[in-house]
Amino acid sequence: ATMLTIVKNVTVYSPHLLDGNYDVLIAGSTFASIGKDISVQGAECTIIDGTGLIMVPGFVDTHVHMIGGGGESGPASRVPEPTIKDFVSAGVTTAIGVLGTDNVSRSPETLLVKARALNSEGMTAFMYTGSYHFPVVTITGNVKSDIVCCEQVVGVGELAISDHRGSFPDIHELARVCEQARVGGMLAGKAGKVHIHMGDQKTGLDPLWAIVEQTAIPITQIVPTHLARNPMLLEQSKKWFQAGGWGDITVDDDDGINALRLLKKDGVSMERVTISSDAFGSLPVFNDKGELIKYGFGKPTTLLECIKKLHFESKWSLEEILPLITSHPADCYLLKDKGRIAVGKSADFILLKEDSLDITYVYGRGSVLVKPGWVKTGMFE
């Protein structure tokens, strides 16, 4: 029998606020109906009282180190692998995995299997093929066929540009990878995005502008991330956004949150801005000599912390904030049934307390992943 759940009398952000309170019916893995006084006769149905709660789409985190990241401070600095509990307890129901710096002791094959594991446990997980480096490490031998042949692969990344840990590809090398991702995306019906890790070097976005200006690759094919890394890069990103490019801001600390405030203050369109956590990636801090001085790792909980700070401290409306982590990333990566609460879409949602924005329930594909006093765990937790 199809599993039925009704959330009664809840305020719905689709991510845009629906007028008044609603009942939301979930049948199987999708939203079946949004209306008033919904009831189901002759079938078993879970009822959740949504009074005092708000329903928002599950978070779509486009940059997570699903098999752990790091390693830049020696073997003991490899960040451990997260579990489904780490993600869903933070409201993340869809995630895209990256490799990062270490493509020696970690591989795209391992990342692929991890994405499949998270899918089987109730989340929705995708991945990028590749790592920081060129030539790109792949599963099948090239980027194009990885995107076409591997269900979970939605693009290539995170390729490091303007970073001392990158491979300093020339424009032709970078353009060829963009072409492979673009054509792979076309053939597979996927986004085929090129996800770019931006480093601290003064060249900033220049290599990406070179691709856009000197080749036929459209600006929307390339998604730079870590755009709040330094003031120069953030300043450059304004032109990128104004030209219609997608870009991602890591909100693992106040720099990311302050960057969002600055973009809004300067009147930059947020239509193609996404935020991500960089969860379980290392957060190394280097001094001017390139020496490591501090070491931590990203956590998925920073997404909700960012929402709370912008809402309660900066007085942003939830309608302004929520698209950055729901509908925008879903649109960017062509995840057509994600990022929105609407009939027919995947029933990925979070119920937050209206007054505090604390999580009470999380559902992924119509199944409960978090409820009061309980969180979904993996096989070995």
Task: Give phi and psi for 250, each to the nearest 5.
Answer: -80, 125
CA distance 223 to 250: 13
Buried b (16+ CB within 10 A) or exposed e, 328-364: bbbbbbebebbbbbeeebbbbbbbbeeeebebebbbb
CA distance 102 to 79: 11
Based on the residue annotation, tell me whether 248 is a catalytic residue of this protein: no
CA distance 321 to 329: 13
Give how far the C-alpha of residue 115 lies from the chain's centroid of Cα atoms, to the nearest Å.
14
* DSSP codes joined into one string, 199-219: -SSTTTTHHHHHHHHHSS--G
User: Which residues are registered as beta bridge partners of 67?
Assistant: none
Evaluate the omega torsion of the peptide bond into residue 135 and state whether it is cis, within 30 degrees of 0: yes
Please report which residue ranges of 215-325 form alpha helices under DSSP H: 231-242, 254-265, 302-308, 318-321
Residue 210, CA atoms < 13 Å, CB-side half-sphere: 13
Annotated catalytic residue: which of 23, 86, 248, 278? 278
Q: Which two three-digit tokens encode residue 103? A: 């493509």
CA distance 282 to 72: 8
**Do 86 and 52 form a contact (C-beta atoms < 8 A)?**
no
Task: Give phi and psi for 9, each to the nearest 5.
Answer: 55, 50
Catalytic residues: 278
